[in-house]
């Protein structure tokens, strides 16, 4: 990952040799500035586990075969105009849309429209370990590796120029939902062939080419990303000529930029800033329920945290109500399951963990656990599921301190977090997950399956074959009632074992200037900016 990050930084000079590292003053005339906190490791969402690439950039640069409607939560056609499901969910046939162009950039000019070769290439790179492109960029595809997709995809083949068939080794009822995520973009095989011929395959992931409404124009590490309008976008020309993704300020710095007009949109503002945002007549806000979860992961490979009773005792000491009031300020609901309440498989019998410090102390005493010292790793940046991770960590530290448990907080930067968490040195970590899939499998397998340990998304390092069997049962059934029953049993097992402690399911919050229109906030993640425009007419002014 660090090697990829270094290569990405070097690519800045290739993208823009003369650009000044500042946002042009005319941006308000033909575009808008989107302020978000994040670290960029790659432009290719196939290689990302979450963060800026998936939450913000993917919907602008790329398209997938399918999408998810942000209002109805239903699958929608995208690059695939239609699809068929056969063999009880083991065979999928996609009919591709005609006349869709890849982006023309400074580093690539397409000579044909999107066809079946592009789809076969894109999915083979992820799922076929024998593909010459599989190991480019490190060979890790965290989202799909955690789902063990390469083990279940039997074949990906072109039936004709606009028809692709994917055969699975066994039925998977969640397959279409995973294909509809931002983790499954369609890449250009023609671009890949060009890079192979020149020996620069690594440029695929740092100088992107997709079919989305915007294309990369300029990137300055740690400062901003400039996207230019794709004039050949298949859904119609985007309304703004450019979008600047400002990643150069965090916390109150981003809020200040919004208030002064340097930012037009503030993604994931801190809940503590709500009063300021509401009181300013120049600002507007959007709140929607989010498909996300914040949780505390126990490293179940390290004693005494390998004992479920110890994990339950520690959970009793954490005051979740105080987290709600001090971190989320009414913008989240207390979580009782790793699934958000909005999920169709949420177990209504799930209950929030009790807060009982006295009982926690007594339990640890009975377990003969004394002088416990724990290291809590915490991401420094705000997240869609947690606006203030460090503050959350401090509250947990204080709660556990009251029962005699010493907690050392270890802040970690985004691009280093995965390596440190998978090294088994941590005891606890604050983590979270959001998805653009409405299938519960997109929470269970990436976070808690045995396979997700090696794909670096299972921070608890917890593996229970019985749990995996329940997930498998849910996937191989086409009956919704049977899937719900399997997932209910899975949630009950998690309650009994408690490898992770669910904390909160956060509302998705976005603040923006009064003249920004057409900005859609999705519960599944960020949506396309193609329809965003500016209306500073007198009638619209505050």
In tens, the pLDDT along 515-535 reads: 999 998 877 766 899 999 998
The yes-or-no answer to whether 38-219 and 292-506 have a common fold is: no
How would CATH label the architecture of 292-506? Roll (3.10)
Residue 17's pLDDT is what? 37
Residue 421 confidence class, pLDDT cut points 50, 70, 90: low
H or E stretch at 157? strand 153-160
CB-facing half-sphere around the CA of 33: CA atoms within 13 A: 26
Q: What does the block give as tokens for 42?
A: 């790659």
Treating both helix axes as pointing N-terminal to C-terminal, what angle do 441-448 and 465-476 enclose, rounded to 10 degrees? 150
pLDDT tier, 343 (very low <50, low <70, confident <90, very high otherwise): confident
* pLDDT given at position 426: 84
Residue 12 pLDDT: 39
pLDDT of residue 16: 42
Query: Given a cut of 90, is residue 3 above it in pLDDT?
Result: no
Nearest-angstrom CA–CA distance, 73 and 456? 28
Domains of the chain, by residue range, sit at: 38-219, 292-506
User: Would you place residue 542 in the very low, low, confident or very high pLDDT band (cuts 50, 70, 90)?
Assistant: low
SS3 276: helix
Determine which of 17-26, 111-120, 273-282, 447-456 has the lowest per-residue pLDDT on average. Answer: 17-26
Place 314 in a pLDDT band, splitting at 50, 70 and 90.
very high
- Whether residue 414 is predicted with pLDDT greater than 60 in this model: the reply is no
pLDDT of residue 33: 96
In the predicted model, what is the mean pLDDT of residues 223-235?
Answer: 96
pLDDT at 379: 87
CATH number listed for the domain at residues 38-219: 3.90.76.10
Q: What is the 3-state secondary structure (H, E, C) of 343-398?
A: CCCCCCCCCCCCCCHHHHHHHHHHCCCCCCEEEEEEECCCECCECCHHHHHHHHHH
Q: For 465-520, how does the pLDDT look when each residue is reduced to its tens digit (9 = 90+)?
A: 999 999 999 998 888 899 999 999 999 999 999 999 999 998 888 899 999 999 98
Cα first-last separation, the chain:
46
Tell me what pLDDT residue 7 has: 44
Give this prediction's pTM: 0.79
Label residue 20 by pLDDT band (50, 70, 90). very low
Pick the range with the lowest mean pLDDT from 17-26, 57-66, 391-400: 17-26
pLDDT of 211 above 80: yes
* Average pLDDT of the chain to the nearest whole number: 89
pLDDT recorded at residue 359 = 97
- Name the pLDDT band for 152 (thresholds 50, 70, 90): very high
Average pLDDT score over residue span 262-270:
89
């Amino acid at each position: 990952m660090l090697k990829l990050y270094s290569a990405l930084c070097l690519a800045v000079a290739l993208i823009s040799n003369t650009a000044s590292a500042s946002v042009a003053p005319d941006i308000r005339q033909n575009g808008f500035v989107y302020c978000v906190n994040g670290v960029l490791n790659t432009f290719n969402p196939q290689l990302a586990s979450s963060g800026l690439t998936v939450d913000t950039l993917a919907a602008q640069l790329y398209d997938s075969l399918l999408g998810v409607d942000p209002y109805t939560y239903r699958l929608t056609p995208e690059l695939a105009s239609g699809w068929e499901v056969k063999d009880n969910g083991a065979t999928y046939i996609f009919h591709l849309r005609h006349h869709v162009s890849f982006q023309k950039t400074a580093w690539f000019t397409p000579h044909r429209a999107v066809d079946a070769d592009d789809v076969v290439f894109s999915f083979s790179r992820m799922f076929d370990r024998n593909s010459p492109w599989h190991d480019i960029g490190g060979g890790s595809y965290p989202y799909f590796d955690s789902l063990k997709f390469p083990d279940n995809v039997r074949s990906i083949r072109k039936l004709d120029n606009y028809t692709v068939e994917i055969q699975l080794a066994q039925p998977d009822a969640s397959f279409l939902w995973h294909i509809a995520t931002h983790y499954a973009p369609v890449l250009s095989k023609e671009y890949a062939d060009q890079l192979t011929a020149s020996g620069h395959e690594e440029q695929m992931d740092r100088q992107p080419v997709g079919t989305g409404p915007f294309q990369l124009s300029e990137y300055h590490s740690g400062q901003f990303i400039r996207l230019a309008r794709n004039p050949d976008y298949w859904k119609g020309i985007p309304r703004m000529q450019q979008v600047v993704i400002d990643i150069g300020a965090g916390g109150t710095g981003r809020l200040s930029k919004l208030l002064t007009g340097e930012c037009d949109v503030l993604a994931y503002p801190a809940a503590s800033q709500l009063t300021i945002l509401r009181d300013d007549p120049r600002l507007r806000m959007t709140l929607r329920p989010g498909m996300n979860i914040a949780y505390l992961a126990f490293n179940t490979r390290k004693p005494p945290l390998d004992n479920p009773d110890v994990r339950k005792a520690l959970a009793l000491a954490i005051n979740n109500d105080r987290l709600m009031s001090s971190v989320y300020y009414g913008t989240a609901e207390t979580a009782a399951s790793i699934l958000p309440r909005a999920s169709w498989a949420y177990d209504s019998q799930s209950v929030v963990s009790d807060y009982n410090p006295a009982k926690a102390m007594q339990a640890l005493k009975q377990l003969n656990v004394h002088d416990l010292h724990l290291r809590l790793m915490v991401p420094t940046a705000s997240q869609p599921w947690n606006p203030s991770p460090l503050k959350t960590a401090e509250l947990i530290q204080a709660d556990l301190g009251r029962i005699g448990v010493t907690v050392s907080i270890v802040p970690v930067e985004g691009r280093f977090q995965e390596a440190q968490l998978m090294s088994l040195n941590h005891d606890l970590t604050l983590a979270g997950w959001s998805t653009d899939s409405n299938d519960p499998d997109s929470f269970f397998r990436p976070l808690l399956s045995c396979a997700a340990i090696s794909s670096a998304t299972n921070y608890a390092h917890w593996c229970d074959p019985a749990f995996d069997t329940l997930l498998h049962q849910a996937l191989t059934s086409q009956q919704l009632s049977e899937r719900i029953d399997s997932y209910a049993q899975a949630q009950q097992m998690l309650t009994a074992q408690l490898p992770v402690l669910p904390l909160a399911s956060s509302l998705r919050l976005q603040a923006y200037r009064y003249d920004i229109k057409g900005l859609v906030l999705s519960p599944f993640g960020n949506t396309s900016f193609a329809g965003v425009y500016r209306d500073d007419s007198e009638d619209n002014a505050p």
